[in-house]
Amino acid sequence: METQNPSEKITILWQASRLTLTGEYVIAPEILRVHGSPIGTLGNFSASIGKAKSKKTFNVSAIVAAALKNGTVLQYDAELPENKQKILYVDTEQSPYHCQKVMKRIARMAGFPLDEELTNLEFLSLRRHTPEIRIAIVEKAIYETEGLGLVIIDGIRDMVYDINSPSESTRIISKLMQWTDERQIHIHTILHQNKADENARGHIGTELNNKAETVLEVAKDKFDNDISTVQAVHIRAMDFQPFAFRINDNALPELVSEYTFSDKKGKSQHYSYSELQAEQHRQALEATFSDAESYGYNDLIDALKQGYATIGCEYGENKLGKLKKFLENKRMIIKDAARKYKFNPQFNY
């Protein structure tokens, strides 16, 4: 049997990738919503980020429970198609005993008995394996599970050896994009935030921010450690009103209905510049670096103030400092070996 040469294969892929103006393309089904705003669609992936002990796994348990019952848990509304109601939960950190505790919590939140197996939930504990074996097992499960609609990867960091490796990060994010597109599923991942700021940890966090459909931030209340808040720090759809939950006496998350957020808009102090489009940032940054190729920190802040003013954004010193962190996290600006900041025209937003 004659094998296909690489050039012919690329030609086929090229032709299959072409879009037309008059073609009909299907809108991705929305399977997860908060307050009516879609946070998860088939063919895409999303993420939860948060610091240690912020109750990220409790929050994701609510997402899974909503999907399992195809209903509402906390503020998550799930609507999986009839032929895509299987859920795959992958845990890379915990022991089988603690993984089973999570599974039991999900069953209780969804209203299922604990003495019967959950036919629509498959739970994998991959703690003892290496990153490449974990990827292989997850890929096998994704492609051979019939009726799969939702995949949870609790510990995406453990799918790579080096969290700051650009090549490893690109590879695993490319895998998420491939799996979701080819299998028309939704994948939700969990990743820690940096201890010093609100950015997702490592280069893989940067790639998640750039490519994810939605990034949810789970954070402990500053004055009450029993309460956690959930908000979207990046979302392609319309933003939703943040909400808060606590763990009740039955060890299950429940809504805190009377919770007051830190500002009048219902947002926490975490500031996001994702409301600006990529071309707006590009235009502002081109103006910022029109007089110099690189800047030290203080000169950069002054230049950003003038550059963003050209697109109608008047920012004070505090917001300019946060803007600088945002741009660096998105790799729109890059710090070189001399600790100077340069514009990166090839950024992916």
pLDDT tens-place string over residues 71-93 = 999 999 999 999 999 999 999 99
Q: Which two tokens stand for residue 246?
A: 């606590």
Q: Is residue 19 part of a domain?
A: no
Q: How far apart are CA 159 and CA 237, in angstroms?
A: 28
pLDDT at residue 204 in the model: 87
**What is the per-residue pLDDT for 112?**
95
What pLDDT is attached to residue 271?
42
pLDDT means per 10 residues, the chain with 349 residues, are 74 85 80 91 94 91 96 93 96 94 96 93 96 96 97 94 91 96 96 72 83 92 84 86 89 82 48 66 93 92 92 79 82 86 84
114 and 178 co-located in one domain: yes
Domain for residue 65, yes or no? Answer: yes
How many angstroms separate the CA atoms of 332 and 293, rounded?
14
Residues 282, 290: Cα–Cα separation, whole Å = 12
Counting the structural domains of the chain, the total is 2
Tokens of 28: 């991705």
The answer to whether 248 and 254 are in contact (CB under 8 A) is yes
Q: Could you give the C-alpha distances from 324 to 186, 193, 310, 348, in angstroms and in order?
A: 32, 18, 17, 16
DSSP 195-250: SSSSSBSHHHHHHHHHH-SEEEEEEE-SS-TTEEEEEEEEESS-----EEEEE-TT
Structural domain containing residue 307? 278-343
Share of the chain above pLDDT 90, in %: 56
> Which pLDDT score, from 0 to 100, does residue 3 have?
64
Distances (CA, A) of 178 to 200, 272, 316: 22, 28, 41
Q: Is residue 7 part of a domain?
A: no
pLDDT at position 320 is: 84
Domain boundary among 220, 240, 255: 255
Report pLDDT for 322.
Answer: 77
**CA pair distance 146, 82, nearest whole angstrom:** 12
Q: Same domain for 244 and 283? A: no
Domain membership flag for residue 348: no
Sequence letter at residue 198: E
d(CA 75, CA 230): 10
Look up the CATH number of the domain holding residue 60: 3.40.50.300
Establish if 150 belongs to a structural domain.
yes
Do 87 and 67 meet the contact criterion of CB atoms below 8 Å apart?
yes
Question: What's the pLDDT at 151?
Answer: 98
Same domain flag for 199 and 289: no
- Give a yes or no: residue 139 inside a domain: yes
Query: Residue 170: its pLDDT value, please?
Result: 92
> pTM above the 0.85 mark?
no
